[in-house]
Chain A
Amino acid sequence: MKKTGNILTIAKKEYREALRNKILWLFAGITWLLIIFAAFAGWQRQEGIHIQKQKATALFRHEWEEQEANPHSAAHFGTYLFKPSSVLEVYDHGLNSYLGNTYRVEAHVQHEVNHSEAEHADTNLRFGELSVATVFQLLLPLMILLLSFSSITREREGNTLKILMIQGGRPARLVWGKLLGIYAIVLTVVVPALLLLSTPLMAADIQPDSLLRFTLFSLTYLVYFFVFTVIGICISAISRSSNTALATSLGIWVLLAVLLPRATIRWIDSAYPLPSRYEFNRTMSQAYQQGMNKDGTSSERWKKFMQETLKKYGVDTVTKLPVNFDGLAMQMGEDYNSKVYDRFAGQVEQLIKKQQTRLEQWSILNPFQAMQQLSMGMAGSDYFHHLYFHHQAKSYRDEFVRTLNLDLANSGSAYLSYNYTVGPDFFKRMKDFTYQPPSLKEVIRFHQWSLFSITFWCGLSILLFIPLAIRLIKI
């Protein structure tokens, strides 16, 4: 009874003291300003992109439907697909500024998702983008450390630590009381910000799991902040003076937020190097031209396909075929190209996934890296969501081109004649692209190591850091 009473007494004192501290309000003010600024800038940017995408999608669809063209010319004309952005992306741009958001649908060519914002947002990215996630991941831990580094050293330097002990305080009660008090301050600053950020999610036309994603997003950040509160207090407990505690805290921040992430990425880059774009393209075009697994060169494949088709229909020349052979042959080429792409892009994809797994595994050492992954995972701006979009866009594309080629094949038009055209009636019937985002379960599975890391650090904080600080506290 007295024990918990003491913890609460200390926590309340800490809280009351901090609320009267001008520095806290300065910190809180800066944090709120940055969050509001980042959120508004994010919303504006999102709104702009959303409108652009909508306009472009509508325009392309309109052009598509209104054309009067040969199906294969239409396939060349193609269309564009845009990666839909989630509401939460506003708070964490993740990789989206660097990865593309536009997918070109075109005959004969398997495109990547291109046109990243980084290509035309020079100043913005050169100075680092400000997002809610940056504020949460970098700035708040720093402020939490600045709030807690002197929490116990100050008591020691002011001789109150001894009086506390004489009055019945114990190291354990002191450390837990400080933790409770300072974490309450952190919540006082962060919770209103999170509530503000949740308001756009109350809109009706939102992806159904957005609220759930935002809840998880918020909860993991709260655990992340808890870990830093524990680190700050424990450093204060075992440091001789406030100066040492400050230096140690800043050192740890630099290590976790600046040095370790860069070191990890350098290591992963050299351990799993990716082929250059040039190499990749050359390998792909060679594989298509020369053929894979003794499939023969592209002209050999063409000849073989023609003979098979002639045999199938029991005729001796292509002009006697009941179908337009051109459409079938082009689809054969498409199928082969898709196979080549799946193989080589698949290899690169596996490599990137391996990099990603290593990155997530290394995050066990660093809650910052784990938080980065989880945050963009929840926001839908990570590599997993990118891949998810790319796969869906690619299957849409393959189906799209197939529809056009087969229409040409079954059109009754003569081989190598290009006067056959179709109009809006046909083009209107072609389905629009609809993106199905991954389920939360899949996202969590992809980031399981990071989720484990955050849980691990929380456990470490409670089961190791705090008991250690209580043992080693200098009275």
Chain B
Amino acid sequence: MTNALEAAQLAKNYNNHIALHPLELQIPPGQIFCLLGQNGAGKTTTINLFLGFIEPSSGQALINGVNVAKNTDITRQAVAYIPEVVHLYGNLTGVENLDFFNRLAGFRFSPKELKAFLLKAGLQEEAHEKKLGGYSKGMRQKVGIAIALAKNASVILMDEPTSGLDPKATLEFNAICRELSDQGKTILMATHDIFNATSLGHRIGIMRDGHLKHIVDASGITAEGLQQLYFESIG
């Protein structure tokens, strides 16, 4: 079976600086993979390589077996992206925001269908017709999720999506991620939250200075154990 996400000797240099050392990583469909590491460890570089925003210096990033750098248009059709801060458009309502991003991707949905996606992403109905400028960060994340749902993306790349969320919002966010995973969607998530990584991820990777130091199964490790490993790795 083809891996949903695969890094084959994927590396990135900027002038003299090595942002990512040759990386080997396979993530099968339906898996949630959490990437831990300090700022500058290479997490965002990895995600940007899969998104096709930067070109690899060597190696390949593959999505569903397709080389991202060579077929960015094709791989992007399968991908959704949820950044740390999802501002979207404050003057537009939740429905209008979702409609806009769907139309860009070539989909048109009725208002009813759009609301169904927002509901599915966990956004309460009262908020649908309100301007996004008044949303909390958690609510805006949900619009981001709805964009991914409406696109029916098989791979969702997230860059520190839960930082700044309150505990309840984080819990809700995790529940949606699990549901997506159950439906066979693959999630690669960069995060700083060790406890969240153990509770949500199937596998966890720890990065440092552009190296992927460890990959552990979440089932085989406790939060405390992971924390210890994390500090040893980044030591």
Contacts and interface: CB of A to CB of B under 8 A. Distances in A.
A475 interface: yes
Contact of A162 (B81, B92, B102, B131): B81
Contacts of A9: 100, 103-104
A246 interface: no
A238 B11 CA distance: 27
A281 interface: no
Contacts of B102: 167
A68 to B, nearest CB: 79
Given A9-B104, A13-B92, A475 B76 contact: no
A222 interface: no
B91 A21 contact: yes
Interface string A156-174: 0111101111111100000
B147 interface: yes
Contacts of A2: 106
Contact of B92 (A6, A17, A163, A165): A17
A408 interface: no
B212 interface: no
B92 A16 contact: yes
Contacts of A5: 103, 106
Interface in B82-119: 83-89, 91-92, 96, 100-106
Given A17-B92, A165-B76, A158 B151 contact: no
Nearest to A8: B103
Interface in A1-23: 2, 5-6, 9-10, 13, 16-17, 20-21
Interface size class, chain B: 20 to 34
A13 B99 CA distance: 10
Nearest to B48: A162
Interface size class, chain A: 20 to 34
B79 interface: yes
A160 B88 contact: yes
Given A2-B106, A9-B103, A162 B88 contact: no
A166 B89 contact: no
Contacts of B53: 162, 165, 475
A17 B97 CA distance: 10
Nearest to B153: A166
Given A166-B79, A167-B151, A158 B87 contact: yes
A2 B84 CA distance: 29
B104 A16 contact: no
A6 B85 contact: no
A241 to B, nearest CB: 15
Contacts of B105: 167-168
A160 B89 contact: yes
Contact of B147 (A13, A159, A163, A165): A163
B6 to A, nearest CB: 19
Contacts of B103: 5, 9
B91 A162 contact: no
Contacts of A16: 91-92, 96
B89 A17 contact: yes
B19 interface: no
B51 interface: yes
A157 B86 CA distance: 10
B100 A13 contact: yes
Contacts of A165: 53, 76
B80 interface: yes
Contacts of B87: 157-160
Given A159-B83, A162-B81, A167 B88 contact: no
Given A158-B88, A162-B51, A169 B83 contact: no
A31 to B, nearest CB: 21
A159 B79 contact: no
Nearest to B100: A13
A458 to B, nearest CB: 29
Contact of B85 (A17, A159, A164, A475): A159
Contact of B101 (A17, A159, A163): A163
Contact of A17 (B77, B91, B104): B91
A13 B102 CA distance: 12
25 contacts: A5-B106, A9-B103, A10-B104, A13-B100, A16-B91, A17-B89, A17-B91, A20-B92, A158-B87, A159-B83, A160-B87, A162-B53, A163-B86, A163-B147, A164-B104, A165-B76, A166-B51, A167-B102, A167-B105, A167-B147, A167-B151, A168-B73, A168-B77, A168-B105, A475-B53
Given A157-B87, A159-B83, 14 more contacts: A20-B131, A158-B87, A158-B88, A160-B89, A163-B144, A165-B53, A165-B76, A166-B76, A166-B80, A167-B105, A168-B76, A168-B105, A168-B106, A169-B104
Across chains A and B, which 10 residue pairs bring their CB atoms closest together, nearest first? A158-B87, A159-B83, A167-B104, A20-B91, A167-B105, A9-B103, A17-B91, A166-B81, A13-B100, A168-B105
Interface of A: 2, 5-6, 9-10, 13, 16-17, 20-21, 157-160, 162-169, 475
